[in-house]
Amino acid sequence: MPNIDKHPAGAFVWVELGTTDQAAAKTFYAALFGWVANDMPMGPDDHYTIFRLDGRDTAAAYTLRAGMSGGAPPNWMPYISVASADDAAARAAEVGGKVIAPPMDVFDAGRMAVVQDPTGATFAVWEPKSNPGIGIAGVDGTLCWADLMTTDVARAREFYAVMFGWDISPGEKDPSGYLHIKNGETFIGGIPPVGPQAGVPPHWLLYFLASDCDGTTAKAKSLGANIFYGPTTLEGVGRWAVVADPQGAAFAIFQPLPH
C-alpha cells in the first residue's frame, strides 16, 4: 500500500466531510471503509474527526452548524495543495472565483482558504506545514479520483487551468466529451460533459477505492445510504456507484478493472 509523505502542488491533498450528525457519520464510515476515528478538540463544544487507515490519515469530518457554509447541505469537500494559500486565494478572486473563507492558519498544521469556483463548486486550498494531508492511497477506502460536476464546463476548465496549472483535456479515442484532469504527469480527476442533476448545485464528487464495488455499495445501502446511480461498468476503466451517506453527503465508490 503506498504511503504518502508529501503531495505535489495541485494534488488533492485532503478530503473533508461536513455533516449534520458527526457521531452517525463516524459509525457509518467505520463500518463501510474501516476508517478509525480520532477526535481533536475544536472550540468549546466541537471536535474535528480525523479518519485513519492503517495509522495513516485518510479523511476528516466536522459538524455543520447553523449559519456555517451558507446553509450548505452535508457534503464532501476536497482540499488542493498549494505553495501559498494567500497567493492561491488572491489568484482565485482575480480569475472569477469567490473566496468563501479567507486564508487562515490551522494551528501549525497548515494554512487554508475556502474558494467557490465561477460555476459554483466549492473547494479548499491547503498550504501544508506540519500536516502534509492524506497519508495513504491504493487501498480500499482511500481517495482515488474526483469529478467536477458543473453546468459550465468551459468556464470551469479555464479557471482550474489557471489556478493549478492542470491539463484538462479529452481522453484519447474517447468520444464521450469527458475531460481528464492531469496534474503534472498524474491523472487525478475529470469533468463529465453532463453536469449535476436538476436542483443539485455544482460540486466536486469524490471517489473512494473499493475492491468490490457491488459488495461495498450493498453494504452502504444496508447502513442507511441512498444509492443514486449504479453500480455500473465503464468499459476499460472500472465499476462504480454514486451513493449518499445517511445524512445526505454524496460520494462515489470505484473498483478499477484488473490490469
3-34 pLDDT tens trace: 888 899 999 999 999 999 999 999 999 999 99
**Backbone torsions φ then ψ of 193, nearest 5 degrees:** -70, -25
pLDDT at 234: 87
Tens-place pLDDT, residues 202-245: 999 999 999 999 999 999 999 999 999 989 998 888 999 999 99
Check whether 1 has a pLDDT greater than 80.
no
Mean pLDDT of the chain: 93
Of residues 63 and 175, the one with the higher pLDDT is: 63
pLDDT at 68: 57
Q: Are both 97 and 192 inside the same structural domain?
A: no
Single out the residue in 74, 103, 128 at which a domain terminates.
Answer: 128
C-alpha cell at 116: 467557490
pLDDT at 259: 66
Q: Are both 239 and 190 inside the same structural domain?
A: yes
pLDDT at 3: 86
Is residue 168 within 8 A of residue 62, CB to CB? The reply is: no
- Report if residue 4 sits inside a domain: no
Q: Are both 23 and 66 inside the same structural domain?
A: yes
Tens-place pLDDT, residues 75-94: 999 999 999 999 999 999 99
Q: Are both 122 and 67 inside the same structural domain?
A: yes
Q: Are both 30 and 77 inside the same structural domain?
A: yes
Is residue 254 within 8 A of residue 213, CB to CB? The reply is: yes
What domain range includes position 238?
143-256
Q: Are both 67 and 40 inside the same structural domain?
A: yes
- Report if residue 74 sits inside a domain: yes
Residue 67 pLDDT grade (very low, low, confident, very high; cuts 50, 70, 90): low
Single out the residue in 61, 96, 128 at which a domain terminates.
Answer: 128
Single out the residue in 67, 95, 128 at which a domain terminates.
Answer: 128
- Report if residue 6 sits inside a domain: no
pLDDT at 69: 52
pLDDT at 80: 98
Q: What is the CATH number of the domain that holds 214?
A: 3.10.180.10
pLDDT at 44: 76
Is residue 208 within 8 A of residue 174, CB to CB? The reply is: no
Cα–Cα distance, 21 to 173 (Å, whole number): 44
Model pTM? 0.95
Tens-place pLDDT, residues 115-147: 999 999 999 999 999 999 999 999 999 999 999
Closest CA to 213 of 194, 229, 197: 229
- Report if residue 86 sits inside a domain: yes
Domains of the chain: total? 2
